[in-house]
Amino acid sequence: MKQQNYLDNLVGVFGHPVAENPGVVIQEAAFADLGLERWHFLTIDVGPDDLGDAIKGLKAFKMRGINCTIPHKIEVLKFLDAVAPSARIIGAVNTIVNDGGKLTGHNTDGQGFMIALQGAGVDPKGKKVVVLGAGGASRAICVELALAGAAKLTVVNVPRDQALADGLMRTLRENTRVEALYVPWEGKLTVPAGTDILVNATSIGLYPNVNDKPNIDYDSIGKGTYVQDVIPNPAFTPFLREADQRGLRWQSGLQMLINQAALNIVMWTGKQPNKEVMRQALEKALA
Ligand code: NDP
């Protein structure tokens, strides 16, 4: 008789709110494609006061890992045994790997962004980059860009949260060699001449606010500027439409999302997923 193993391998996401997080769709499509029958991705609503108990549960269930999303990305640091260098600099973790009870935190948001850039044939080394927004996604992206050798990083953010931008400037200057500059976002932004890469790392344009776009003088974007959005839903935002209408090269946040999910799968299962399968599953779910 064949020996059976019905043990489930569990991964998932802790967040609040989390019901609309599409991680399960992408991850389970990859598991099925890889023939990982007993791997399951659980979408788990964990309130801010319950994170410690949830982490105990993760260990008790011997879950292989977990993603953390709003509001846990920073708070979770205190429950970890180790933190990857870039996640330590970013100051936030979105992926945890459980090696026999030892929890290591990673930040795959910025790494997913970098792989998306590479996929588009864009090397940030020595480049001048303008990043809109100074929130969590911006921090991850800015740190990775700086570590990859970007020459100049201009972070544009509304002055209503000065502390965010100040913190990011300090992080970049203390941990990397990039020339970091903060520009308060007041009125219509003129994109500095000579910008090689323009990134929307704000939440402007995210569903349901699908008609919103960053307040920019779009005609000020140089002809050679590469434009990248972080918004995964919808994939084609008004920001990207402006870039497209001007004949600029651009990429949506979808690829970044797929890449970071693919990195999670590699970390958890040791197997390389098929990103095309993941992309198709996500597009079908978001359609
Ligand atoms: P945060 O809330 O941490 O940051 C959002 C940023 O956008 C802040 O700097 C905020 O400024 C700014 N912002 C929001 N609205 C406006 C506005 N009207 N005008 C100017 N600035 C504005 O969110 P995250 O950084 O975590 O996420 C940002 C986006 O990135 C989300 O849409 C998320 O879906 C996406 N994302 C995509 C990923 C992917 O893989 N594709 C991965 C991670 C995130 P202020 O604080 O002053 O409001």
The rounded Cα 88 to chain-centroid distance in angstroms is 15
pLDDT of res. 40: 97
At 275, the pLDDT band (50, 70, 90 cuts) reads very high
Which pLDDT does position 5 carry in this prediction?
Answer: 87
Domain-embedded: residue 4: no
Separation of 200 CA from ligand 1 center, angstroms?
Answer: 9
- Segment 21-75, tens digit of pLDDT: 899 999 999 999 999 999 999 999 999 999 999 999 999 999 999 999 989 999 9
Q: What is the pLDDT of residues 128-176, one digit of tens each?
A: 999 999 988 999 999 999 999 999 999 999 988 788 889 999 999 999 9
**Would you say residue 143 lies in a domain?**
yes
CATH number of the structural domain spanning residue 197: 3.40.50.720
Q: What are the start-end ranges of the H helices in the chain?
A: 23-34, 51-60, 85-90, 108-119, 136-147, 162-175, 238-245, 253-269, 275-286
Q: Are strands 152-157 and 179-184 parallel, antiparallel or unpaired?
A: parallel
pLDDT at 197 over 90: yes
Q: Give residue for tokens 């864009």.
A: 122
Indicate whether 76 and 119 sit together in one domain.
no
State in Å: Cα 202 to ligand 1 middle.
3
The Å distance, Cα 204 to ligand 1 centre, comes to: 7
Residue 207 pLDDT class (50, 70, 90 cuts): confident
pLDDT range class, residue 2, cuts 50, 70, 90: confident
Report the domain count for the chain: 2
What's 84's domain CATH number?
3.40.50.10860
Do 114 and 247 reside in the same domain of the chain?
Answer: yes
Query: Domain containing 234: what range?
Result: 110-252
* Pair 114, 237 in one domain: yes
Pocket test residue of 202, 207, 239, 254 for ligand 1, highest count of atoms within 8 A of CB: 202
